[in-house]
Structure 1
């Protein structure tokens, strides 16, 4: 009998295949860069990157849809789909990555699948969504009404050290890549904060 393997499980089993550039560069810089690319695609104007000893976060001023995703058999929001499913947009992101000079991008499903945990907080259209993912699956989901008028998203990722042994984010090289994005996108407000 052939066992069906979920995409997230396949990614965890073969990280060298899905993260070729990351392993070649020997840094985790491309993980926050992929989320930055996603934020840019959502037409945000402000991005804040925070790097801590064992995790990082990306905050940006657009929300992720908390509507139910119609093309999926089950109760899943569009925000979750972004972090859990391989969609047509992955090919588009790769094309945009080449055009923007960001290099080989990884895709949010791959980042989520290889994280020890990943948290998502988003405000969109009068709703607040909070999600906790572990190893690429949704652990908890809370959606409620919100009086918050501003759209906002924060994604926090703790990369799994067993998948990326001895790899960390290099603040200097990440800052250089962020400076390049800032320059190419005519002054997009993007800031990097290192917390040691």
Structure 2
């Protein structure tokens, strides 16, 4: 008869969520492994832009996808307001659950934020965030989900914007890439739900 394992507080091991993403990527990115591409990551990466769109602050998104790299640019800023020593932008990109918690519209979190920006960032080899918000520039560089550089300055521009670059980890995803024809189909479905949001995919 097999002996039952007894778990105690002493036997529990805390694993940082970034490490857990690497250990169990198929749990987080099930659709990627089902479809054998990276396309499902895109919709999750648009959740902040969609939240701002529903708040009438974003009406255009430009997307550039090539190989395992994804660039998103849209005309709304990611907040640089400080909360617990981090800007909201940093929290969204590095704290699991923060992406959903910072949403202004619950339906966005429910429908478009299944992954969360921090999980996508954790599965990236490197990522870069540039944002103009409230006449401030914010620049952040991440490696495997960790902040390695942050810089703030006054902005010469009054128009707000956000640009995010992800280079997805080949260690996690192997040879998976963004497949543009299927990606366009996913975006067409998104446009049907959000007809007033201009979305352009550049090949």
Provide the rounded CA distance (Å) in 2 between the counterparts of 1:171 and 1:90.
Answer: 27
8 Å CA contact 1:30, 1:106 repeated in 2:
no
Choose from 135, 141, 144 the match for 2:150: 141
Q: Does 1:20 align with 2:30?
A: yes
Q: How high is the TM-score relative to the length of structure 1?
A: 0.87
Provide the rounded CA distance (Å) in 2 between the counterparts of 1:186 and 1:86.
Answer: 30
Q: Which residue of 2 aligns with 1:178?
A: 187
How far is the alpha carbon of 1:105 from its aligned partner? 3.0
Provide the rounded CA distance (Å) in 1 between the counterparts of 2:165 and 2:131.
Answer: 12
CA distances 1:19-69 after superposition (whole Å, capped 9, x unpaired):
112211111001121122321112211000001233110101100111211
Cα distance 1:89–1:107, how it changes in 2: closer, same or farther (>3 A)? closer
Provide the rounded CA distance (Å) in 1 between the counterparts of 2:70 and 2:99.
Answer: 24
Provide the rounded CA distance (Å) in 2 between the counterparts of 1:56 and 1:185.
Answer: 21
Q: Which residue of 2 aligns with 1:82?
A: 92
SS state of the match for residue 41, structure 1? helix
8 Å CA contact 1:119, 1:155 repeated in 2:
yes
Q: Does 1:117 align with 2:139?
A: no
Q: Which residue of 2 aligns with 1:45?
A: 59
CA distances 1:113-136 after superposition (whole Å, capped 9, x unpaired):
010000000000010000000011
Provide the rounded CA distance (Å) in 2 between the counterparts of 1:186 and 1:41.
Answer: 14
Provide the rounded CA distance (Å) in 1 between the counterparts of 2:152 and 2:22.
Answer: 28
CA distances 1:54-95 after superposition (whole Å, capped 9, x unpaired):
31101011001112113xxxx311101011112265385552
Q: Does 1:33 align with 2:39?
A: no
CA RMSD of aligned residues (A): 1.8
Q: Does 1:56 align with 2:65?
A: no
Choose from 107, 111, 114 the match for 1:96: 111
Provide the rounded CA distance (Å) in 1 between the counterparts of 2:28 and 2:45.
Answer: 16
Provide the rounded CA distance (Å) in 2 between the counterparts of 1:89 and 1:67.
Answer: 15
Q: How high is the TM-score relative to the length of structure 2?
A: 0.84
- Structure with greater Cα Rg: 2
How far is the alpha carbon of 1:3 from its aligned partner? 4.4
